[in-house]
Amino acid sequence: MENVIGGFLKVVIDNWYFSLPAALFLMFASRYVENIAFAVLGFILGINFVFPFLASLEALKEYLSNENVKMVVMVAVGVLTAVVIYVLYKYLVFLAAFVTISFLAYYVINFMTNSFGIQNVQYMNWITLGLSAFVGMLAGLTAYRRERDFAKILSILVGAAVFSALVLWYLSGLFNVEFNPENFFENKSMVFFYVSLFLLFLFIAAWFTFRKVSSPKTER
């Protein structure tokens, strides 16, 4: 799981020119276009997960050795993934909620067990997986019944996660602090700052998205 998160952070940073506008859109525009937010989420998944998987295949490595070809293919994979997510939007709501919330729950629970020094408790890995799956299942069932609200919540979560990584990367360079995504979890201070930034941006985006907008009075 830590390798997956490290790889995700690396691809997000390497492709910041795509990741930054997508993160801002997911954080602050999902209240207006829920379906489009899912398409943007699909694009992020395409360039950060689907494309790296394809690029790791031996049959494609030589073909993707050219940087121009690699960029075109990466964008094409992102667009195709976005189209699939958009078309199958309603059918993927439950699965997306289950996977995303389980992933976040696992990360939070694992972080807490490491922080309190109880990661070596017997069967702790299985307990963490079980709790994560349970939380994910509840999220999936809830999302299935309230897909519009779920689209906004998932959009905010992913947007805040991506934006926090980019801000942490920028601040690290600004203060000459080494930021190595592959070994991200070895630096507890870096993890703490990332979680703090994530919670901050999550709160800001959630407030902006779910705040009540006053409508002009039609009657005096």
Q: What are phi and psi of 83, to 5 degrees?
A: -65, -45
Residue 220: per-residue pLDDT: 42
What is the total count of domains within the chain? 1
The reply to whether 216 falls in a domain is no
Per-residue pLDDT tens, the chain, 220 aa: give them. Answer: 556 666 677 778 887 888 898 889 888 887 666 667 777 778 888 887 788 888 888 877 777 878 888 888 888 998 998 888 777 776 777 887 788 788 888 888 877 777 777 666 667 778 888 888 898 888 888 877 777 777 788 788 888 988 998 998 989 888 887 777 777 777 778 888 888 999 999 999 989 888 765 444 444 4
Task: Provide the residue range defining the domain that includes 113.
Answer: 2-210
pTM of the model: 0.62
Query: Domain for residue 24, yes or no?
Result: yes
188 within a domain of the structure (yes/no) = yes
218 in any annotated domain: no
